[in-house]
A and B are shown apart, each in its own frame.
Chain A
């Protein structure tokens, strides 16, 4: 347990000094806030406004799907590339402890970003907790996916090359789904689409499929990514 704590502490310090990663936790809620403040809804025709996706909810899904997959992958790949991980393992840090420490940091910092999104959306009371639970489900899925990519790649460059296309589909998918029913049907099984569904449900006020349905899909994603992660880890380890 003390190894997990040591890695968590190290990763927190490193994340706060790593602008490339830190900015990803800040920029999405900032953009969402700017859109909320700057968008003149009165100037948008009603028929456009009626079909337009809620931009705050979209940005929350983009954050969960895009920023976290690439961040988790980049952190692990960097430690591998710079051989820091080798020294940690030689110091008897078990790979699961390392992954828990890094994943725990990403999860912890994501709580603040998720709370920021919640405030921008104006979710209060039970809605706040439902939104936070859905975000943290998405964050968990993204961390597992990003960690798997980090395990598979040798350096940050190749991690980014693999993570970006996947992250873009997951992140921007819900936005495209807002304009296209076919895409919405295809992306129905992804956690970011369901995250968007939950946010829209809370924003509009209980319209659409029941919430448990979305949570079930998100946790199915978590289980699938968890299984993939375990298989990749068993085959590749932390080499």
Chain B
């Protein structure tokens, strides 16, 4: 089943055409990556799909209602004076969900020990995890993640990757943008490559790499570090 689709979408800001005839579709229960450098139009695509922007032409469709969408954007939008738990309670009240579920989500992102810590006391990585917790609190069927691991250390990023995979395994469709090619290679089931607002390639990371004969063995210090440390999400308030 198709969960998100775009057909011939174009968008300009002033005279600057940021999206040119973009067409793609994602399927239920997959991690779909929108890959491209900064300024290639990734965030604009998310904004159009979540109805924060309207396209100049073309059609887009998200198969679920707005209450079944989770969102993680570059701006975290957290209430900085409130604690982690209080931030989630706002959305717990809006979505009318049980406190038990909120506490479970906090545990999954490794923030149980920091639940009473004010957001303005959190590290960047912890804030990202809280934003992810807010995005998945109501068990959305489609999750939009805009650069979910940008500016994070590899260990925190790895923890977030695990959470994203868990969500996919739970049946959610994950639509994420990233400029990190390695992240897309390891995390995404399928990717679309975007360059100057235009799709230049799409498929599974393996297929794309084989197509361009781009498979190689690389030294992986991150893997060694994870082997040495265990690599779980650590909470340091």
Contact = CB atoms under 8 A, between A and B. Distances in A.
A50 interface: no
Contacts of A7: 90
Nearest to A84: B77
Interface string A1-44: 01101110110011001100000000000000000000000000
Nearest to A86: B77
B71 A17 contact: no
Contacts of A87: 71, 77, 134
Given A87-B71, A90-B66, A3 B77 contact: no
A3 B94 contact: yes
Nearest to B137: A91
Interface in B71-128: 71, 73, 75-82, 86, 89-91, 93-96, 118
B66 A6 contact: no
Contacts of A17: 81-82, 118
B50 interface: yes
A92 B69 CA distance: 10
A23 to B, nearest CB: 14
Interface residues of B, number: 25
Given A2-B96, A92-B66, A10 B90 contact: yes
Contacts of A86: 52, 73, 75, 77
A82 B77 contact: yes
A93 interface: yes
Interface string A53-70: 000000000000000000
Contacts of B52: 86, 90
B7 interface: no
Contacts of A82: 75, 77-78, 80
Contacts of A90: 50, 52, 66, 69, 71
B67 interface: yes
Contacts of B93: 2, 5-6, 9
A83 interface: yes
Given A9-B89, A86-B75, A87-B71, A2 B94 contact: yes
Nearest to A85: B77
Nearest to A87: B77
B67 A84 contact: no
Contacts of B77: 82-87
Contacts of B79: 10, 14, 84
Contacts of B71: 87, 90
Contacts of B73: 83, 86
B118 to A, nearest CB: 8
Nearest to B135: A87
Q: List 3 A-B pairs, minimum CB-CB distance, nearest first.
A: A6-B93, A83-B75, A83-B77
Interface of A: 2-3, 5-7, 9-10, 13-14, 17-18, 82-88, 90-93
Given A17-B82, A88-B94, 7 more contacts: A2-B96, A5-B93, A9-B89, A10-B82, A13-B82, A83-B73, A86-B73
